[in-house]
């Protein structure tokens, strides 16, 4: 396992290339790493490391992002090659465990199971509360629900990984009461914290509301920190950065804007565990 450094990454980087296959032929979309041959994998790694980034978000299989990258078959040998390529490059794979299509599958991909021993960081699914729902507390203080099942299965498949939840924007806990659900997941699955998502670009399309976003990050970092858990600035302006060429009001979400925005968040919310949506 690589040393787990403070989070530094961006799983979308716009306008890096002019001729990369798939997507818009320009961006790096790190979850799609398995869609590329060795040449393009190395080109992306070089550009990523040139920016000082360390955390590479990765999808094992499935519909990587709508129809932009096609469907990736669940292939354990290919996933092992991908993960070892990233690890040997000195990067830290952050691996999504489960398929979120058709209501979500709480059991990880076979390729995740088969390679769990070399996965350093994992999360059950993208925006898992959206289709797994939230957990319900029982009389004995435990929590039940599909969101709990997904974390349980992810932990079983990746016994050495640091585990995080990823929720929709503004959602902050696996269940209710919030703190009790976090404590239960901490004590039962040894989770590490939250991959935070916000949508400040909906509040202010020009600035993406860095002050409001940072205030939310700081408050969540404080509350989770009191429970021994981390808050990562994971996904704040990924969506408009990914789609910046499709709507004129998003054209200014360039890489320079992305990195400056991330740096502002870290300055205003310094107790987060780092960033994975661009920064400096």
State pLDDT tens for residues 178-229.
999 999 999 999 999 999 999 999 999 999 999 999 999 999 999 999 999 9
67 against 147, higher pLDDT: 147
Q: Is the pLDDT of residue 166 over 80?
A: yes
Average model confidence (pLDDT) across the chain: 96
DSSP 71-98: EE---HHHHHHHHHHHHHTT-EEEEE-S
pTM listed for this prediction:
0.96
State pLDDT tens for residues 115-150.
999 999 999 999 999 999 999 999 999 999 999 999
Cβ atoms of residues 214 and 264 within 8 Å: yes
State pLDDT tens for residues 35-62.
999 999 999 999 999 999 999 999 999 9
Average pLDDT value for residue range 148-175: 96
CA atoms within 13 A on the CB side of 137: 16
Q: What kind and span of H or E run contains 112? A: helix 110-114
DSSP 16-83: S-SS-SSTTSS-EEGGGGGGS-HHHHHHHHHHHHHTT--EEEEE-SEESSTTSS-EE---HHHHHHHH
pLDDT of residue 26: 98
Measured at the CA of 130, the angle between CA 204 and CA 232, to 5 degrees, comes to: 60
Q: Is the pLDDT of residue 1 over 80?
A: no
pLDDT band with cut points at 50, 70 and 90 for residue 3? low
Domains and CATH numbers, the chain: 7-275 (3.20.20)
Average pLDDT value for residue range 4-20: 94
Cβ atoms of residues 130 and 169 within 8 Å: no
Q: Is the pLDDT of residue 4 over 80?
A: no
Measured at the CA of 278, the angle between CA 6 and CA 47, to 5 degrees, comes to: 95
pLDDT of residue 5: 77
pLDDT of residue 96: 98
Pairing of strands 121-123, 62-63: unpaired
Measured at the CA of 64, the angle between CA 5 and CA 111, to 5 degrees, comes to: 70
Q: Is the pLDDT of residue 102 over 90?
A: no
- Would you call the peptide bond into 50 cis, given omega within 30 degrees of 0 as the criterion? no
- 3-state secondary structure labels for all residues of 186-211: HHHHCCCEEEEECCHHHHCCCCCCHH
State pLDDT tens for residues 176-185.
999 999 999 9
Other Cβ atoms within 10 Å of 52 Cβ, number: 10
Cβ burial, residue 58 (10 Å; 0-12/13-18/19+): buried
Task: Name every residue whose Cβ is closer than 8 Å to that of residue 159 and which is 6 or more positions away in sequence.
Answer: 116, 117
């Amino acid at each position: 396992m690589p040393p787990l450094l403070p989070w530094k990454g961006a799983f979308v980087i716009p306008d890096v290339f002019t001729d990369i296959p798939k997507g818009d032929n320009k961006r790096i979309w790190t979850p799609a790493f398995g869609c590329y041959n060795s040449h393009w994998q190395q080109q992306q790694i070089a550009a990523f490391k040139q920016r000082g980034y360390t955390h590479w978000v990765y999808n094992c299989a499935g519909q990587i992002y709508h129809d932009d990258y096609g469907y990736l078959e669940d292939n354990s040998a290919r996933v092992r090659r991908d993960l070892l390529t990233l690890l040997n490059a000195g990067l830290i794979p952050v691996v999504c465990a489960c398929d979120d299509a058709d209501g979500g599958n709480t059991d990880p991909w076979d390729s995740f199971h088969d390679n769990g021993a070399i996965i350093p960081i994992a999360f059950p699914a993208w925006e898992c509360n959206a289709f797994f729902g939230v957990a319900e507390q029982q009389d004995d203080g435990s929590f039940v629900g599909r969101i709990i099942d997904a974390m349980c299965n992810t932990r079983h498949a990746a016994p050495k990984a640091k585990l995080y939840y990823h929720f929709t924007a503004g959602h902050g806990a696996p269940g209710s009461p919030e703190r009790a659900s976090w404590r239960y997941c901490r004590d039962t699955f040894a989770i590490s914290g939250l991959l935070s998502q916000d949508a400040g670009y909906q509040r202010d399309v020009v600035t993406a509301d860095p002050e409001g976003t940072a205030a939310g990050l700081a408050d969540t970092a404080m509350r989770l920190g009191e429970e021994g858990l981390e808050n990562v600035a994971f996904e704040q302006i990924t969506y408009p950065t990914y789609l910046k060429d499709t709507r004129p009001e998003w054209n200014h979400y360039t890489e320079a804007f992305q990195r400056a925005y991330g740096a502002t968040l870290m300055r205003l919310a310094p107790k987060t565990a780092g960033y994975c949506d661009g920064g400096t």
